[in-house]
């Protein structure tokens, strides 16, 4: 009898636990999302109806799979990148307006392209608006999750570790590293062209990654830069796992399941952490100039937190350096060279400028600053193919932007790639390559300058933008001073969105030594 009572009691506990779990799931997946959405619906904001559990994930994946099967073998004339990589968002914008909402799993997102609201979001300095929690939880293995708060040089929810003017001094101190890395690439291309009869058909993507990776590796790890290369290789594998190809990461609880993808990500995360901390230890034991890694170490040293928190701070910021200083720069350089290769007029104009300014010498910082034509081309390239497609933020409290009351917990998305080619902002030639629009700088390039944000805009602008611009100018200037190039017949124009906007099949150039 007692055994039967114990069994009944146990089954009752299991049943109650199961009911409690169902209630909790209902609250998380249905009640809370509906409550948040209803607050915006009362303000006249709508969007595509979501399904339980998946939200609009299936629609997004279906739209992406449809467009990814239609690459172009012709030299691109129109560069409407948004319609290729995120076609459904253009459709939703037309259907629901400049402000609409959609769902990724139980994650509620407000997509914004209305200029005044974009300005309010991008200029907001409140810590109630910050990095989305889903990025910290799901992309944390790649992007890093937190920073320390010490001596006024860091922000909570952000990754700023040094004032911009001080960071520029660091960049100037890296000019030799940048030029040496670029010259190494030139020597490889020289060997290729000579070995292939004067003209080489080169897929440039890996060369761009090797260049930017070499810069960051040398800046962080000095003579032991091979450590940085190994870290970047593993972070690249993590980037592939965490990319938009795996939209299912938005499904609630998916990141906790021991799937093959998750197990691989967990393994890579541990290996990256171990390699970074080993590299930091070895770097501390030698004397070195104050470059990128030193900035991170100084921020950690001035804190009064635990060693575990300091290690996490160092690892997270090294991951952010990878994305901002390595992969982003490499992808931007790839698109820039593609555009120069397909626009011979600008190819020749920029070369003429480079030769006049440098007169056969390696450009220094002041020379790079004088290269107006090159700067215009880089800005136009970043407009048409911004490395990051979306700027995302989360409201940690109820907030107001423009005339919209955004409830706590909602994520805000600014579709950079869409804003950069909006005819209402950039004119009828918004999808055309026209660097002349930047003749008066970024301020005079369009009707609403704050809508140009390849590195973000406002107080949360990417700290690495100065390094990226110097790297791009140095690399492109040196290439143009030594080579002429055009698009190869093997080039297939097919932009795709992983974590960054990349050429799915790479960029092939016909390269000839001058």
Between 53-57, 121-125, 170-174, 308-312, the lowest mean confidence (pLDDT) is in 308-312
pLDDT computed for residue 121 by the predictor: 92
Pick from 127-131, 146-150, 442-446 the range whose average pLDDT is largest.
442-446
Between 41-45, 50-54, 155-159, 413-417, the lowest mean confidence (pLDDT) is in 155-159
Q: Enumerate the known binding-site residues.
A: 462
Extended beta strands in 264-419, E state: 390-395, 399-401, 404-406, 411-415
By CB atoms closer than 10 A (0-12, 13-18, 19+), residue 486 is middle
List, as one string, the DSSP characters of 295-355.
Answer: HHHHHHHT--S-HHHHHHHHHHHHHHHIIIIIIHHHHHHHHHHHHHHT-HHHHHHHHHHHH
pLDDT computed for residue 162 by the predictor: 47
Q: Distance between CA atoms of 50 and 52, rounded to whole angstroms?
A: 7
Q: Distance between CA atoms of 158 and 143, rounded to whole angstroms?
A: 11
pLDDT computed for residue 160 by the predictor: 41
State residue 401 phi and psi, 5-degree precision: -130, 120
Q: Enumerate the known binding-site residues for heme.
A: 462
State residue 509 phi and psi, 5-degree precision: -120, 145
CB 273 within 8 A of CB 361: no
Quick one: pLDDT band at residue 161, thresholds 50, 70, 90? Answer: very low
Query: In whole angstroms, how far apart are CA 225 and each of 188, 208, 228, 282, 317?
Result: 19, 17, 5, 11, 17
Residue for token pair 């909402």: 101
Two tokens, residue 234 = 């593993």
> Is the confidence at residue 248, as pLDDT, over 60?
no
3-class secondary structure, 166: helix
CB 78 within 8 A of CB 384: no
> Is the confidence at residue 63, as pLDDT, over 90?
no
Residue 76 DSSP symbol:
P
- The domain limits of the chain are 35-511
pLDDT computed for residue 138 by the predictor: 45
Greater pLDDT, 342 or 253:
342
3-class secondary structure, 389: coil
pLDDT computed for residue 154 by the predictor: 37
Pick from 130-139, 147-156, 223-232, 360-369 the range whose average pLDDT is largest.
360-369
Extended beta strands in 115-210, E state: 129-130, 199-203
At the fourth CATH level, the homologous superfamily of domain 35-511 is Cytochrome P450 (1.10.630.10)
Pick from 268-277, 285-294, 295-304 the range whose average pLDDT is largest.
268-277
pLDDT digits (tens, 9 = 90+) for 493-511: 989 887 789 999 999 999 9
Two tokens, residue 170 = 């660091």
Quick one: pLDDT band at residue 260, thresholds 50, 70, 90? Answer: confident
pLDDT computed for residue 391 by the predictor: 87
pLDDT computed for residue 203 by the predictor: 97
Residue for token pair 């969007």: 47
Q: Distance between CA atoms of 249 and 104, rounded to whole angstroms?
A: 9
Two tokens, residue 264 = 């691989």
Rounded to the nearest integer, the mean pLDDT of the chain is 80
Mean pLDDT for 395-422 is 93
> Is the confidence at residue 57, as pLDDT, over 70?
yes
Which one, of 486, 501, 215, lies nearest residue 332 by Cα? 501
Greater pLDDT, 261 or 410:
410
pLDDT computed for residue 150 by the predictor: 34
Considering all CA atoms of the chain, what is the largest pairwise distance in Å, rounded to the nearest integer?
A: 99
- Give me the long-range contacts of 232-237 (CB less than 8 A, separation at least 24): 232/322, 232/326, 234/268, 234/271, 234/272, 234/275, 235/142, 235/268, 235/272, 235/319, 235/322, 236/209, 236/327, 237/264, 237/268
pLDDT cut 90: percent of the chain above it: 41
> Is the confidence at residue 470, as pLDDT, over 70?
yes
Two tokens, residue 111 = 């997509």
3-class secondary structure, 394: strand
Query: In whole angstroms, how far apart are CA 365 and each of 179, 355, 358, 421, 469?
Result: 11, 15, 11, 31, 11
Mean pLDDT for 453-457 is 81
Greater pLDDT, 173 or 48:
48
Q: Distance between CA atoms of 506 and 219, rounded to whole angstroms?
A: 27
């Amino acid at each position: 009898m007692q055994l039967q009572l114990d069994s009944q009691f146990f089954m009752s506990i299991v049943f109650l636990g199961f009911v409690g779990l169902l209630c909790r799931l209902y609250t998380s997946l249905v009640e809370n999302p509906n409550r948040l959405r209803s607050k915006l619906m009362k303000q006249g904001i709508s969007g595509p109806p979501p399904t339980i559990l998946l939200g609009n994930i299936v629609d997004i994946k279906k739209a992406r799979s449809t467009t990814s099967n239609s690459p172009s073998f012709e030299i691109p004339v129109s560069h409407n990148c948004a319609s290729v990589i995120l076609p459904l968002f253009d459709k939703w914008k037309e259907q629901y307006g400049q402000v609409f909402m959609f769902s990724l799993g139980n994650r509620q997102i407000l997509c914004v392209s209305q200029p005044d609201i974009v300005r309010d979001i991008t200029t907001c300095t409140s810590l109630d608006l910050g990095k989305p929690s889903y990025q910290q939880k799901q992309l944390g293995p790649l992007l890093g999750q937190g920073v320390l708060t010490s001596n006024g040089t860091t922000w909570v929810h952000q990754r700023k570790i040094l004032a911009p003017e001080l960071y520029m001094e660091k960049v100037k101190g890296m000019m030799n590293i940048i030029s040496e890395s670029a010259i190494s690439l030139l020597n490889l291309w020289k060997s290729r062209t000579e070995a292939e009869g004067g003209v080489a058909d080169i897929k440039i993507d890996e060369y761009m990654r090797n260049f930017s990776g070499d810069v960051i590796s040398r800046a962080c790890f000095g003579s032991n830069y091979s450590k940085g290369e190994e870290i970047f290789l593993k972070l690249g594998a993590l980037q592939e796992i965490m990319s938009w190809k795996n939209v299912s990461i938005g499904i609630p609880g998916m990141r906790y399941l021991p799937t093959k993808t998750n197990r691989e990500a967990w393994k890579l995360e541990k290996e990256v952490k171990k390699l970074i901390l080993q590299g930091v230890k070895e770097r501390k034991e030698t004397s070195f100039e104050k470059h990128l890694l030193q900035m991170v170490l100084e921020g950690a040293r001035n804190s009064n937190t635990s060693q575990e928190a300091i290690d996490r701070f160092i690892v997270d910021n090294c991951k952010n350096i990878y994305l901002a200083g390595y992969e982003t720069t490499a992808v931007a350089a790839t698109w820039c060279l593609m555009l120069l290769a397909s626009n011979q007029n600008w190819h020749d104009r920029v070369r003429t400028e480079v030769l006049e300014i440098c007169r056969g010498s390696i450009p220094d910082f002041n020379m790079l600053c004088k290269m107006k034509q090159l700067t215009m081309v880089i800005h136009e390239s970043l407009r048409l193919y911004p490395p990051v497609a979306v700027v995302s933020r989360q409201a940690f409290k109820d907030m107001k932007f423009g005339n919209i009351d955004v409830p706590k917990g909602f994520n805000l998305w600014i579709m950079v790639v869409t804003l950069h080619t909006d005819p209402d902002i950039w004119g009828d030639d918004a999808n055309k390559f026209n660097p002349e629009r930047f003749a008066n700088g970024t301020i005079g390039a369009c009707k609403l300058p704050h809508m140009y944000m390849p590195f973000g805009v406002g107080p949360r602008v990417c700290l690495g933008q100065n390094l990226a611009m110097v790297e791009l100018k140095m690399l492109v200037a040196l290439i143009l001073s030594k080579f002429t190039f055009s698009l190869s017949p093997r080039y297939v124009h097919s932009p795709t969105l992983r974590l960054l906007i990349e050429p799915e099949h790479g960029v092939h150039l016909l390269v000839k030594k001058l």
